Structure 1
Amino acid sequence: MKKSLVALAFGTLALGIAEFVMMGILPDVARSLGVSIPDAGHLISAYALGVCCGAPLLVIVHKYPLKNILLCLAGIILLGSTLAALSVNYWMLLVSRFISGLPHGAYFGVASIVAVQLADERHKTGAVSIMIAGMTVANLFGVPLATSLSSQVSWRFPFVLVIFVSIIVLYYIWKWVPGVGALPDNGFRHQFAFLKKRAPWLILSSTMFANGGIFCWYSYISPLLTTEGGFAADVLPALMIAAGFGMVAGNLVSGRLCDRHRPSVVVASTISIGIVSLLLIFLLADYGWVSAALMIICTGCLFAVSSPQQYLILKYAPGGELLGGASIQMAFNMGNALGAFCGGLPIAAGLPPRYAALVGVPFLLCGLIACVIFSRKYEPKA
């Protein structure tokens, strides 16, 4: 495995901890800052909105060398996590979460292009998968560790962990990633040309709704497992490890399946499994270990769609790869923001956390419809 790909994966590791740790520490943050669980859920949405605002800025810096852009984005990751660790109230943490989200989509957009350029023709999708793998490892080890630190010491320690990882990212990108130059400059308008076509919008729509559906439920996984599943708070780190295992497995299995089948078919099948899983979570939330097993399946679905969708948007965004690669992350995180908000509505109304899973089902259905339309029109069966 190339060191350059490992360096890129460390970047997604830092982003993965920063993004997903809030799900595990949500009750601790709410209790410490004196806000409700649904209000604390806005901290998830703030990160996602930061992603949506930061990604389009790539069109401004598209003339700069890709390695320089990566270093700048790693610096913003460090800044956001530092501000989060030093936050003195809810509003400062909310702003810091927004800043932390700014480099997310842009990093994935640039890193996916660098990964493809560094790989040979037969392993380009695999290179993207390795880059994304950092985020799955974050959920397997980083997020559970951060969750444990939060419950035992303080909710600030997870962000301190991101600070240290961010410093490593800066060093590894500087040391291991070769001097990848800028993409061909075809003009400012050409960066947006791919958005005139239908295919990218179907990919982005499927991504947003499918991710949003899972996040309706996953944003409130901690209260669901403790209040309805009957698990003690000190068991949550182990359950987060199990969720991370599902993400790693989903990413790996998806990569192999995409070598044999059309990526859109893999995505559609994964979304279908997600729909069934969320319905079962709603019905069986009182059965703790059943709910935990379904959690592993759902988190596997969450990352089983990542690599194929990241690859598809690059394929269908010729001339606008930077914005296209970032746009898929915008779609992911717009789904995250909508999911966290909509999933919190029944909880705020006094309903049990299991209803967040039920809210996610219509989202997934919309994502499935968009994916099926794309598959039939743009990826006809060979």
Structure 2
Amino acid sequence: MNGSTSINKMRLGMAVLAGTCLIAVTGYVIAGWSLLDAVYMVAITIFGVGYGEVRPVVDPGLKLFTLAVVVAGCSSGIYVLGGFVQMIAEGEIQRALGARRMSRGIEQTQGHAIICGYGRVGRSLVAELREAGVDLVVVDRDTERLAEAERDGILVVSGDASEEDILRRAGIDRASVLASVLPGDAENVFVTLTARELNETIQIIARGESEATERKLIRSGANRVVLPTMIGASKIAQLIACPTVETLVSDAKAFSRMNQDLEAFGLGMMEIPIAAQSALVGCTIKDIELTGDGGNVVVAINRSEGEVIRNPKMEDVVGAGDRLIVLSHKEDLPAVTRRAAQKSEQMSYRGTRY
């Protein structure tokens, strides 16, 4: 039986009990009892209190009526109580079975990510990881949040992520990475300490709110620390300082900041002036990008008259006095510069003079 069956059983029993009480009161009133005496008699009869009869029941018909009230009232009351107990038992059994299935699912997971905290940041992180196909387990103390995650098919563990047994239930010994994105810095420090003690090789990424917390998290065993406020401020500053490509090609500081960001990926961006006798004068963007191995991309053209062409088309032609903004691997940038510096009569590519 499911939960709705036990609820229907309770409703049926309560309806029978209410009907029995109403009929019993009516019967005693018809027998000449007052309404108060009738209600009192029904209450002590059905619920088995046994204080004694309000009036002597000597009439055989009234005795049979009272006997019927006892049988019907007690039976319906027991029926209601049985439905209530069944509903509670079914709920506990379902929760136990659900926890067992969840535990088996976690035990079968290898190389997964453990996300500690399912708040605003945790939800966004889980959504991104699920889209990327990463196996994950969510740990949180909020049962409502976990119920929501469980409905979405996410493996969850209820409890404090700073406790060893909770992290063991989440499979920390088999996990490849743990992300602690709880709202409090102290909580993230404790989670990091516990996780590092349980697994010396796991990758730990922790959320922090200040540079002081970042140092504590690193000392606690975090491999990387993410500061959301700092990232947000940096992004806003970037939008303010360099909102457009026009600003990028005209602001040396913005250009330098962009190159610093690209260095982490082994890339570089260079502004290449096109002299009047450069081999690239009269070439199309397609011709320029084809001169290399496909690793050079012309991001923008700053025309000699001041116009900036963002994301130029392959058929756009380079003229004397233009400046090209070229993105390439850092080791290829000098070669790009040398090609631009060559005289037009020194170089030919696929029938095009450079």
Q: TM-score scaled by structure 1? A: 0.20
Rg larger in 1 or in 2?
2
The structure richer in helix per residue is 1
TM-score by length of 2: 0.21
* Relative contact order, higher structure (CA 8 A, sep 6+): 1
